[in-house]
Amino acid sequence: MTGLFEWLLQPALWLGLCLALLYAALFHAWQGRTLAGLGWFALASLAGFAAGQLAGAALHFPALGQVQIVAGTLGAASALTLVRARLHKA
């Protein structure tokens, strides 16, 4: 249980979560139509930021501490754009 507790206290995790949710909120303020869209944007941003984080670490992009901000931002932006296209298509 201590390992999980230590993992949850890592500042890099919280910085990544905060950035991904901030991107979702800003994107929703710009392109959102419904409250359900905010939920989809939040999920997409979190998934995209996580994918970007993994890709940036694998490709050795510059990072701020342990957070791949550029790669994570690109991943979140890509995922948000895809979800927006799917939501506005329906």
Separation CA 33–CA 76 (nearest Å): 19
Gyration radius of the chain over CA positions:
14
Tell me what pLDDT residue 68 has. 94
What's residue 2's pLDDT? 76
- Answer whether 72's CB lies under 8 Å from 47's CB: no
- Res 30: pLDDT: 94
Q: Average pLDDT across each block of 10 residues of the chain; the chain has 90 residues. List them in order.
A: 75 94 96 90 97 95 92 97 86
Residue type for position 81: T
The whole model's pTM is what?
Answer: 0.89
